[in-house]
Structure 1
């Protein structure tokens, strides 16, 4: 990468990382008059929401759904643009299908009556409890998402003000415990409690506030972006460029530079330095504090404290393409969840004992049934995701285990979802926790940064306004309000709101040192 320099322009800002949270923050800062430079080590924008194209198959690497389109529309509106002109969203109906080993299926729908009919079909005695759970989810949405999730939580007084409401909503109770208190059927208990796994949380320990996800689905639906989440990231980068900013790929930040104790820029891996009075890190919060600020004293987020945090699980993801199967497996929809033989004990293996168990539950993504552009004509693009222990447990050698585990995933898919799969595979690629560690600089290879337990949420989480370094701001899954596309888009709104309007901009220049 050529060396880059900036004058001490009071209207310049640097964003480290082109994940969705970093891109959204850059857009909001651009709307505030900043000339933003986004720096990212990958070859395309999106971070964990980017993609890889191989053999004509576009593999969406991370998030696959949008549950709160209004958050993206509000972001575009803040920039004077129309989201729906730049990105096409398609509603999923059903949202997904859950399949258990005993043959039971559950597929929530856009229509409330259709969803209640699904509940009545598998657990008719739980219909009243299901309705109560949804009412609970809406209450948690209004408090946890619309209120706390839309404001910064870096002041202890804000947490103290929220405690009575937390107590009233039984935030001390886990999502699973709350679901179990409303419904009796084990299938329905799973269906109402598994969602925290998609933001890195253990359903048996994550606060019941995350029941709000059920309301997000019900109120806003589940959507797929044509072109994948990569299309959203690419559109965001175009907005930033149109605002006068730039998104530089293949540019890895090695350190945050301080001047008189204040963030003043970044030093790149090639030794060049960029200066700006506003620095936003969309790198994992753990990486930001342990690596990018490694040469600076820290009072709260020390290496020892980071080591004591509970981190989200790791992920094993098998991306594969199949030949001539578009009309095959006609009963396989866009999103399928295959539930393994165990729930609670399997979650314990993943989060607590660190055991790579032989059995598994899988999330299977088949975007080609909705978006033919992601695969050659007549072919299919898939990924199968399995939650696994993160690297901190030290129990799995992925150099040895990756291929045997992939074979186990294939066996489950052939037996339960895609018969004859092995005869059709044309492309194959696997990500393990080691990939997440090297590609995304994720501590311990965790899939979703710090786990969102109650004492690792809100004020207890790394703040959007860094408590360590003036002039440094954080955004993304590891900070408030948390992981998931709605979470990081919301974090961008919170973070950008802490940064004042830009003063008059000075000319930007790019030069070799």
Structure 2
């Protein structure tokens, strides 16, 4: 059965994979979407093509949210282009679907290029593992470290595929809005060993300690600790193998702009530089019901449906009045566990480093102990593991001719660490620079010609992310599916959530799938118009 047929198999799923879109009349119900990140953009396109009038509001001066773009002038009129957030695409069909819903083709607007290796993983001793989608090449890489683990890798990949089939194909677009939905999948979760952590599952199949790191780091891409994140997230290994790892020419910002243009081209209203101060609610009925939003300027915008792509914890804590919340109370939000944060340094160089891959992961000498510092002790360690992104390896136009554009991120504790980033930023950046210079970017300090940073404080200030967490709620078993904020609000009728903090979770496939869920839970415009 194809993935489309499998996704459409649920009786109540209104899966739409192509146009023509429904044109919204002047009296069609109005939907307001808060936040123009990928979740908000996808939600806005989906609602628009179903026949809603849609207004998309974002506090930044450009769409994209965490996926915004910064441009720094370079020599001779050139510029460094920095994608400030996501850098790789692992389920391209989810983007293709959005253009198809509007009767268009994504490839006519944005070009995707497959990258290989997916990641170049460098251990602290200088040994390198090239992680690809090629089965034979992967087995050769594994055999270099431990020939006995080749058979274990095959079994692990088979398990990852089974988890992928259930966790992504069957459940990724399902709204877990009732306890019975969670109870129904318990037998599958038991069979798939969801009680194990990702690292625990990997360790069942692989014995070499370095290979265990190679195949367990993926939860960090969505804000999770491999030692506490449910093994459901081991599906990422097969997801990447199945669809590949892709890059959008022009950067992730090209996808953002493409979706924003698609939205406006089909009649959507995009309002930038506008901060939402409150989601307005009528509490006089049997259940509270959304009525619209109030902007910081005092302007109110009436709406039949409100979709929030703002941080889920922020949405409830700051935008919905306490008297309208019986589920996501302040006490419950305070007890919730949030993901780690990130320190990100964006920099350009006046030379190229042609031997550096598009995606490089530099693993430090510590693994579990470093993650304990980040997630449990919440202390800023002296060492780190890094993800280095060099888009100019694939797309030289991201920098002036003969130059390179990079960003490097380091997982760090969220703001509960008490770190004063106004004091620490430059010290930490310099330590990262020194490590890169000593490992993969020789002479780096002499060649940096552009520099920007993003810290946990920036995640709070720029994106209103509670505790400066980079990925909202931490993806633990008891904060997954039914236990996350629901896509259809438990507290307020007509309020819906998309993005990293709701089901199915963070990462571009998760965020785009959260918007997919809206096709199931948001009523058709005709039903509201009656």
Same-fold status (TM-score > 0.5): yes
| Aligned equivalent of 2:378, options 354, 369, 379 | 354
Deviation of 1:239 after TM superposition, in Å, equals 1.2
Deviations 1:421-465 (A, max 9, x none): 000011111110000001000000000000010000000000000
After the TM superposition, which residues 38-53 of structure 1 pair with which residues of structure 2 at under 5 Å, given as runs? 38-53=56-71
Deviation of 1:505 after TM superposition, in Å, equals 11
SS in 2 for 1:124: coil
Q: Does 1:287 align with 2:314?
A: yes
Output the CA distance in 2 between the equivalents of 1:103 and 1:403.
26
CA distance 1:459–1:436, change in 2 (3 Å): same
| Pairs aligned (count) | 496
Alignment partner, residue 268 of structure 1: 295
SS in 1 for 2:172: helix
Deviations 1:83-102 (A, max 9, x none): 11111001001111000012
List alignment gaps of at least 5 residues for structure 2: 1-24, 74-78
Deviation of 1:295 after TM superposition, in Å, equals 5.0
Q: Does 1:470 align with 2:493?
A: yes
CA distance 1:124–1:236, change in 2 (3 Å): same
After the TM superposition, which residues 111-122 of structure 1 pair with which residues of structure 2 at under 5 Å, given as runs? 111-122=134-145
Q: Does 1:298 align with 2:298?
A: no
Alignment partner, residue 109 of structure 2: 86
SS in 2 for 1:247: strand
Deviation of 1:8 after TM superposition, in Å, equals 10
Contact 1:11–1:504 (CA under 8 A) maintained in structure 2 = no
Contact 1:175–1:210 (CA under 8 A) maintained in structure 2 = yes
| Aligned equivalent of 1:248, options 246, 256, 271 | 271
Contact 1:263–1:278 (CA under 8 A) maintained in structure 2 = yes
Alignment partner, residue 277 of structure 1: 304
Deviations 1:163-187 (A, max 9, x none): 1111111101000011011001111
Q: Does 1:340 align with 2:358?
A: no
Deviation of 1:487 after TM superposition, in Å, equals 0.4
Alignment partner, residue 90 of structure 2: 67
Contact 2:322–2:329 (CA under 8 A) maintained in structure 1 = no
Alignment partner, residue 177 of structure 1: 200
Contact 2:324–2:492 (CA under 8 A) maintained in structure 1 = no
Q: Does 1:367 align with 2:385?
A: no
Deviation of 1:228 after TM superposition, in Å, equals 1.2
Alignment partner, residue 509 of structure 1: none
Alignment partner, residue 138 of structure 1: 161
SS in 1 for 2:166: helix
Output the CA distance in 1 between the equivalents of 2:408 and 2:368.
21
| Aligned equivalent of 1:411, options 434, 439, 451 | 434
Structure ranking higher on relative contact order (CA contacts 8 Å, 6+ apart): 1
Contact 2:121–2:131 (CA under 8 A) maintained in structure 1 = no
Q: Does 1:54 align with 2:72?
A: yes
Deviation of 1:330 after TM superposition, in Å, equals 2.3
Alignment partner, residue 4 of structure 1: none
Alignment partner, residue 24 of structure 1: 42
Alignment partner, residue 449 of structure 1: 472
CA distance 1:8–1:291, change in 2 (3 Å): farther
Output the CA distance in 2 between the equivalents of 1:112 and 1:82.
31
| Aligned equivalent of 2:342, options 303, 311, 315 | 315
TM-score (structure 2 length as normaliser): 0.92
SS in 1 for 2:215: helix
List alignment gaps of at least 5 residues for structure 1: 1-6, 507-513
Deviations 1:260-302 (A, max 9, x none): 4211110001110001101000001001000001354311111
Deviation of 1:368 after TM superposition, in Å, equals 1.1
Output the CA distance in 2 between the equivalents of 1:172 and 1:384.
33
Alignment partner, residue 383 of structure 1: 407
TM-score (structure 1 length as normaliser): 0.95
